[in-house]
Chains A and B, each alone.
Chain A
Amino acid sequence: MKVIINVSLKDGVLDPEGQAIKFSLNNLGFEHCSDVRTGKQIILNLDQNSETEVLKQAKKMCEELLVNTVIENYEINILKD
């Protein structure tokens, strides 16, 4: 089963990369772009059929390694064939 994990910075955590992108977008004429936040996507393949088990495993992976929960939020999506 394919799992997509989106990791993003929590509100209030400075995102200098997002800020730099925002300024660049504004310079290109996209003046209405008032904020940019960046994040990352992690795609996993789990050899398991139970959706509940996959979700449980993915959550454990996020908490133990994939996400720094001090500054990041995450969202787990299971990709159905």
Chain B
Amino acid sequence: MRSGVVIFPGSNCDRDMIVAIRKITGKTPIKIWHKEYDIPNLDLIVIPGGFTFGDYLRCGALAARSPVITSIKNHISRGGTVLGVCNGFQILIEAKILPGSLIRNKKLLFTCRETTLEVQSCIENPFLSGLKIGECLKIPVAHNEGNYFASKDLLKQLKEEGRIALKYIKQKDNEKNYNPNGSTEDIAGILSNNGKVLGMMPHPERAINYLHGGTDGLKFLTNCVEQIIG
């Protein structure tokens, strides 16, 4: 599988993502610098987490206006697959590739901890289609602006179109802080209307080894690779 990881000034999860993909595919993803206009045909482009451009103006706002975004949009219009994680999700939203907005966490705290995600019933997509609906994945989050906000109309549209991919879910009935950021309807990740672009706040590349405390991220990424290569 040919994959690439986009790097902006301030990206900091690029290496972890490269390690994770290499572990699964045996091939090292290419690094794509944000100033590149021409990127080769790839099966998967990942926009990793980080603090691109120091989170200045709004998280992901400046990265979303970088030259590479035009190439990514072309890749998407050719039916290409894109995964945006954390700051990568914020960039996809700022670039208007995914709808809605990611605002400050409800409790104003940078949250760095494991969350439990539930796979939602959604349109066919290369990220979750091999997993069971309702399946739970333990994947950590680490962000300050991950509170997904959508207007009522947009939320209705996302539901009708089956584009809500992942939600934070309780492990116990009395669990209160299962949603780390206060996102609307516990949304953790959403899909584009063709299902080929997924933006998610949790970091699968941070759960690929038992030493990380879990390997559900590896399970998620492995499934994603298997779905793409068919």
Contact = CB atoms under 8 A, between A and B. Distances in A.
Contacts of A68: 58, 61, 94, 101
A66 interface: yes
B4 interface: no
Contact of B106 (A13, A16, A71): A16
Given A65-B61, A66-B57, A71 B101 contact: yes
A65 B57 contact: yes
A-side binding surface: helix, strand, loop or mixed?
Answer: helix
A70 B108 contact: no
Nearest to A71: B101
Contact of A16 (B62, B99, B104): B104
Contacts, number: 35
Contacts of A71: 101, 103, 149
Given A65-B61, A68-B94, A16 B100 contact: no
Interface string B74-116: 0000000000000000000010000111011111100000000
Given A20-B108, A70-B100, A71-B103, 18 more contacts: A14-B103, A14-B147, A14-B182, A16-B104, A16-B105, A16-B106, A16-B108, A16-B182, A17-B104, A17-B108, A65-B57, A65-B62, A68-B94, A68-B101, A70-B99, A70-B101, A70-B149, A70-B151
Interface of B: 57-58, 61-62, 65, 94, 99-101, 103-108, 147, 149, 151, 182
